[in-house]
Amino acid sequence: MDTRDSEERLVAAELARYDRELRRYRALRSRIEADFARRLEAAGFKYFHVTARVKSRESFERKVRRAPDREVRDILGVRVIAHFEGDLPAMEQVVREALIVDDDSWVDKSEMLPIDAFGYRSVQFVGRIPEEGQERVATGAVRAVGSDGTTDASDAPQVEVQLRTALSDTWSELEHDLRYKSARQLPREVDRLFALSAALLEQADDNLDQIRRQVEEARVAPPSRADGGGERGYIGRFIQYDGDSRTLDQLITAALDVPFGAVTGSGRELRSVVRAAGWHRYEQLADGFAEYSELGRRLAIACANTTRDILLADAEPQRPARSFRGIGVYWTALSAALVAGTAVRESRVPDGRLAEYRVVAEYLNVNPDASALSVRSRYVALAAPAGTLDDEGFAPISLA
């Protein structure tokens, strides 16, 4: 059998695979597009759009024929477009949670450019949607693992994900159509204009990030003692726009393995703990968060109720556990207030429960290497049952 016959057999086998899997990929297209959008919205992103496509048979065949011995992994493709380049790293982390990612496939197109060159910047990678993950795309469960707890999904459908800014997306589409679809060699002047346009777009992306940052900083104002309006404003802005805050929300949500969504009463509880921590301005909140976020993460893992309302397991025991935007700030500010010995006022969390949390926070603070999960098992054995409101229902606990 000559090389050409061998290649034709490979092409035929790949086309048969395409025909066999086409219906499944078409079904996944709209579901994964909606799932990515839902996850990004839940994480606090406002300025983005998501599009998914299934590669046509003709395009698939052309790609197979270019390299018959190489697997085509982008039958299903998703493009995530951000308005701000500064959002891309955190947005990437959000969409990665929906997949089992092949890290070897990760590519940053900007790193492939010469140091003195300009071009569109895009991150792309390939991930698999395991069988459990197909349900997750529809239902929004947190983890992408198989029923046996492993992440082996070698036969699962693959998806190529691209993340870029809106300006980079426009640039890449125009360059592809004008440069690479041209039948003739383009003049050097056209190359020069392409490079100049790419440089301007790169600067425009940077400018947009700076504009947003300066606009947000200009809005920061001292809290209004009369109605708390300023306080609500800066806490909300920090939760929405600070990348580390959003990342901590995701880490805590994944660690607790609870759904993510709106939680009634979370705003009041957030304000009470941020005030107790002494963070009355945006800068104070940012500095305090940087100092105490790791303690806050560990305190959440050790103490958060995962079968009842996370914040109000005593006052609202009938409500199911649900994470929310700002959960990282809540546990971070609470941990700072507790280790400082500050009273948490205007909260519906009973004083007895706060006293329990204080013991745990102090223990974690002086034992930074202690496993939060191990501390959780000890705390659960000592804590008063969920739904306890009277002081008599709480007893002092010790982790020493």
CA angle 297/281/336 to nearest 5° reads 30
Mean pLDDT of all residues in 22-46? 92
Task: Provide the H-helix boundaries in 304-383.
Answer: 327-339, 351-366, 372-382
* Highest mean predicted confidence (pLDDT) among 1-5, 136-140, 293-297: 293-297
Beta strands 100-108 and 158-165, pairing class: unpaired
- Give the number of other CB atoms < 10 A from CB of residue 306: 14
Q: Tell me the C-alpha distance between 236 and 230, whole Å.
A: 10
Residue 141 lies in a domain: yes
Domain housing 375: 229-393
Q: How far apart are CA 68 and CA 85, in angstroms?
A: 36
Q: Which of 199, 218, 238 is the last residue of a domain?
A: 199
Query: Would you put residue 228 in left (φ > 0), alpha (ψ -120 to 50) or beta?
Result: left
Q: Where are the beta strands (DSSP E) in the chain?
A: 48-54, 76-82, 100-108, 122-128, 158-165
Say whether both 146 and 271 belong to one domain: no
pLDDT at 131: 61
Domain check: are 36 and 124 in the same one?
A: yes
Name the range with the highest mean pLDDT among 80-94, 110-124, 227-241. 80-94
Mean pLDDT of 159-181: 81
Q: 224 in a domain, yes or no? A: no
Q: Which tens digit of pLDDT belongs to each residue from 127-149?
A: 998 665 444 443 333 333 444 44
Phi, psi of 127 (to 5 degrees): -135, 160
Does residue 156 sit in helix, strand or coil? coil
Give me the pLDDT at residue 40, please. 93
Tokens of 91: 């947005």
Distances 91 to 104, 164, 205 between C-alpha atoms, Å: 19, 10, 16
Query: Is residue 52 located within the same domain as residue 125?
Result: yes
Question: For residue 217, is it within any domain?
Answer: no
Tell me, yes or no, whether 277 and 141 share the same domain. Answer: no
Q: Which amino acid is at 283?
A: E
pLDDT bin (cut points 50, 70, 90) of residue 218 is low
Give how many domains the chain has, as a whole number: 2
Question: Any idea what the CATH number is for the domain that residue 150 is in?
Answer: 3.30.460.10
Look at residue 326 and tell me if it is in a domain. Answer: yes
Residue 150's alpha-carbon distances to 128, 145, 175, 271, in angstroms, are 13, 6, 42, 40
Q: Are residues 125 and 44 in the same domain?
A: yes
* Phi/psi of residue 159, nearest 5 degrees: -140, 135
* Predicted model pTM: 0.49
> Do 194 and 278 fall within a single domain?
no
Cβ-based neighbours of 4, under 8 Å, separated by 6 or more: none
Give the pLDDT band (50/70/90) at residue 219.
low
What whole-number distance in Å separates Cα of residue 255 and Cα of residue 243? 18
| pLDDT, average across residues 348-360 | 93
pLDDT at 367 (0 to 100): 94
Residues 143, 89 share a domain? yes
Tokens (6 digits) for 241: 């726009």
**Cα–Cα dist 203/147, whole Å:** 47
Per-residue confidence (pLDDT) for residue 398, from 0 to 100:
93
Give a yes or no: residue 328 inside a domain: yes
What is the token pair recorded at 291?
């100092």
Asked if residue 376 and residue 255 are part of one domain, the reply reads yes
What tens digit of pLDDT does each residue of 100-129 get? 988 888 887 665 554 444 455 678 999 998
Rounded percentage of the chain residues whose pLDDT exceeds 90: 39
Residue with tokens 């945006």: 282
Q: How far is CA 230 from the centre of its chain?
A: 27
The backbone torsions φ and ψ at residue 100, rounded to the nearest 5 degrees and listed phi first, read: -100, 105
Tokens of 389: 């409101």
235 and 320 share one domain: yes
Least confident of 87-101, 107-121, 284-298: 107-121
CB 320 within 8 A of CB 308: yes
Q: What is the pLDDT of residue 115?
A: 40
Cα separation, 285 vs 279, whole angstroms: 5
Report the SS3 class of residue 369. coil
Q: Among 156, 180, 199, identify where a domain stops.
A: 199
Q: What is the DSSP letter of 187?
A: P
Q: What pLDDT does residue 229 have? A: 41
Classify residue 329: in a domain, yes or no.
yes
* Position 180 pLDDT exceeds 70: no
- Map residue 165 onto helix, strand or coil: strand
Candidate from 143-157, 188-202, 244-258, 345-359 with smallest mean pLDDT: 143-157
| pLDDT tens for each residue of 310-350 | 888 888 878 888 888 899 999 999 999 999 999 888 888 99
Q: Summarize the confidence of residues 177-185 as an average pLDDT.
A: 65
Please tell me whether residues 157 and 294 are part of one structural domain. no
Whether residue 211 is contained in a domain is answered as: no
Residue 176 and residue 304 in one domain: no
| 201 CB neighbour count, 10 Å cutoff | 19
In the predicted model, is pLDDT for residue 237 greater than 80?
yes
R_g over Cα of the chain: 26
Q: Does any domain span residue 216? A: no
pLDDT score of 312: 85
According to the model, what pLDDT value does residue 146 have? 41
| Average predicted confidence (pLDDT) for the chain | 82
> What φ, ψ does residue 104 adopt, rounded to 5°?
-70, -20
Query: Looking at 177, 199, 221, which one is the last position of a domain?
Result: 199
| Cβ-based burial of 356 (10 A; exposed 0-12, middle 13-18, buried ≥19) | buried
- 351 and 234 fall within a common domain: yes
pLDDT score of 133: 42
How far apart CA 78 and CA 48 sit, in angstroms, is 13
Of 84, 165, 81, give the one whose Cα is nearest residue 121. Answer: 165
What is the C-alpha separation between 36 and 99, in angstroms, rounded? 10
